[in-house]
Amino acid sequence: MSMMAGRSRLILAAVGSIFVVGYAVLASQLRTPAFSDPMGPRAVPYLIAAGLGLSCIALLFEHVIVQTRRNADVSSTETRNADGGLTGTAVLTLCLLTGYYLLLERLGFILSTGLFLLAFLSFTNHRRWLVNLAVATLFPIAAYVLLATLLGARLPVGILAMG
């Protein structure tokens, strides 16, 4: 196994941490309406940043655990192949998330989420087009109904705005 493959989690955690800091800075610049719930739309970006930050920390711990196993000469097929597709999938996911972030306001929640899911599932869930299309169509609609209708969250409508 190459040295680079063994460090992919560490690299991903470092790049992800930089992404989290940038995301948090951008989130701090969001304007909220004068009359809104204090925990409303302002808290959501910070919760996302916290989740991404915790994911980076989990990757660091996972890297330490895998390295400790390798150093202890406890190698199994799973440990040797653990980094196989991680780097490519992680880079693709970060690119797709960046595109999602950039398109969210323009296209709206439903379309941008559907496109993100379709692209991501097409890469990770090969040749299951019917399932991928169903998830990419139904999940954003269900999430929108749950978040916007039942919880009162203001989600971007984008090009689907009526009037």
Residue 143 Cα distances to 40, 138, 157, angstroms? 17, 8, 13
pLDDT over threshold 90, residue 121 = no
User: Under DSSP, is residue 139 helix (H, G, I), strand (E, B) or coil?
Assistant: helix
Structure tokens at 23: 């995301």
Higher pLDDT, residue 3 or 161? 161
pLDDT digits (tens, 9 = 90+) for 7-55: 777 777 788 888 888 888 887 777 666 665 555 556 677 777 787 888 8
Q: What is the pLDDT of residue 54?
A: 82
DSSP letters spanning 1-26: --HHHHTHHHHHHHHHHHHHHHHHHH
Measured CA angle at 117 (ends 13, 98), to 5 deg: 45
pLDDT digits (tens, 9 = 90+) for 44-99: 777 777 878 888 888 788 878 877 777 775 444 444 445 555 677 778 888 898 99
